[in-house]
Amino acid sequence: MKLGIIGLPNSGKTTLFNALTRSNLPTGAATSGQFEVHTAVVSVPDARVDRLKAMYNPKKTTYAQVTYVDIGGLDKGIGEGGLKGQFRNELAQLDGFLHVVRVFEDENVPHPDERIDPAADIAKLDSEFVLTDLVMVESRIERLEADMRRKGRTMEKTQVDELELLKRLKAHLEDEKPLRDLDLTEAEIKPLKGFGFLTLKPVLIVLNTGEDGQTPALNYPHRKSLIVPLRARIEAELSQLDGEDQRMFMQEYGVTELSADKVIRLSYELMGIQSFYTVGEDEVRAWSVQIGATAPEAAGVIHSDLQKGFIRAEVMTYDDLIAAGSEAALKTTGKLRREGKDYIVKDGDILHILFNV
């Protein structure tokens, strides 16, 4: 999972990036207006992995990972007819966005529009993304219509279907609505992924509040979106602490859950992702897979050969294993199951893939 941290200048994007990745990048006006891309891979906190590690005592423990990308200089393309070039290319490669929206007041960190208006900030960037997608859709429609004039009835059905779909997208975008609000089937979404449409990607709106943590009432009635308030500056400071110092600081500011844990948890929910596990003396490992994935698809996350040669999966649930106390004890309960190619993997499943290549 690769998530981009976006937002207007001085909204706290890099501060959030520091909080999530325990980095210490310069923030604020020092970086405003510059095109910079910072990337960090973070292990997903998972108490289940910790418990499995204690049970199996493996040589290696691997947590699931999420990649965060902090993209600076996004303001350069705003109001210029849609984002282009390197800006759009970076954004198109992401799975989803963390849209940081400024709520805090700070006279030393001026808002680019000289006002604090979260709803207006969200609408400004959303409109830019809609326009960017619309430009791409119109360009593709022009090429397909040129092909149709040239080929006539010999034009391939896949191109005819694509043209019809793109016209639906165009009408929707012209109404200034994100594509994620459009009723699209999985079969329709699949060929669209290659375009990297920005408004098709899920969005977690992060309201960056001041120390008081107060947040405005905000209505954002769009699909594949969530809203979370967060004190990014305090969370960034917390990320630099460990152990007792961190616990004392959290207690002082009333922080019950670190931003990394909260944002990752909500990101998984937003992206429709769940965790499954593989265990043994060599390694205990967490894997991420889409909700609704079959056992062969989960096997493919581990290695493509496992999916190609999939025979069956031995499955036990995390809860059953913990309740039994050991894998050997679990086997005596009859709760270690053998599942075939149609099995739908569930969150917390522990899989052993049997395959033949």
Average pLDDT, the chain: 89
How high is the pLDDT of residue 197? 95
Q: How many CA atoms lie within 13 A of 337 on its CB side?
A: 13
What CATH fold (topology level) applies to the domain 128-199?
DNA polymerase; domain 1 (1.10.150)
Report helix, strand or coil for 252: helix
How many CB atoms are closer than 10 A to CB 302? 17
Closest CA to 162 of 136, 185, 192, 132: 192
Q: What is the pLDDT of residues 152-163, one digit of tens each?
A: 777 788 888 889
Q: Which two tokens stand for residue 187?
A: 């079969």
β-strands 225-230, 203-208: how paired? parallel
How high is the pLDDT of residue 198? 95
Where is average pLDDT lowest: 135-144, 189-198, 234-243, 273-282? 234-243
How high is the pLDDT of residue 233? 86
CATH 3.10.20.30 fits 292-355, yes or no: yes
C-alpha to C-alpha distances, 225 to 8, 129, 162, 289, nearest whole angstrom: 18, 15, 27, 19
Closest CA to 213 of 237, 187, 232, 186: 232
Rounded to the nearest 10 degrees, the angle between the axes of helix 13-21 and helix 232-239 is: 30
How far apart are the C-alpha atoms of 314 and 70, rounded to whole Å? Answer: 40
CB of 337 closer than 8 Å to CB of 316:
yes
β-strands 283-290, 60-62: how paired? parallel
CB of 39 closer than 8 Å to CB of 5:
no
Which class is 2-46+63-115+200-270 in CATH?
A: alpha beta
Q: What is the pTM for the complete model shown?
A: 0.87
Report helix, strand or coil for 1: coil
CATH 1.10.150.300 residue spans of the chain: 128-199
Closest CA to 3 of 71, 76, 64: 71
CA 328 distance to own-chain centroid: 37
How far apart are the C-alpha atoms of 260 and 264, rounded to whole Å? Answer: 6
How high is the pLDDT of residue 300? 96
- Alpha helices, H only, the chain: 13-21, 47-56, 85-92, 118-151, 157-174, 186-192, 232-239, 243-253, 259-271, 295-302, 304-308, 318-324, 327-333
61 forms bridges with which residues in the sheet?
284
Report helix, strand or coil for 285: strand
How far apart are the C-alpha atoms of 16 and 238, rounded to whole Å? Answer: 11
Q: How much of the chain exceeds pLDDT 70, in percent?
A: 95
How far apart are the C-alpha atoms of 72 and 241, rounded to whole Å? Answer: 26
CATH 3.40.50.300 residue spans of the chain: 2-46+63-115+200-270
Give the full edge-to-edge strand order of the sheet including 65-72: 36-43, 65-72, 2-6, 96-102, 203-208, 225-230
How far apart are the C-alpha atoms of 295 and 352, rounded to whole Å? Answer: 10
CATH 3.10.20.30 residue spans of the chain: 292-355
Strand ranges, E, within 9-74: 36-43, 60-62, 65-72
CB of 299 closer than 8 Å to CB of 339:
no
How high is the pLDDT of residue 207? 94
How far apart are the C-alpha atoms of 226 and 268, rounded to whole Å? Answer: 11
Range 240-259 average pLDDT = 81
What one-character-per-residue DSSP string does 79-131 give? TSSS--HHHHHHHHT-SEEEEEEE----TTS--TTSS--HHHHHHHHHHHHHH
∠ CA(110), CA(126), CA(202), 5° rounding?
A: 115
Selection from 27-41, 208-222, 340-354 with the highest mean pLDDT: 340-354
Range 239-262 average pLDDT = 81
Please say if the pLDDT value at position 34 is more than 70.
Answer: no
Please say if the pLDDT value at position 302 is more than 90.
Answer: yes
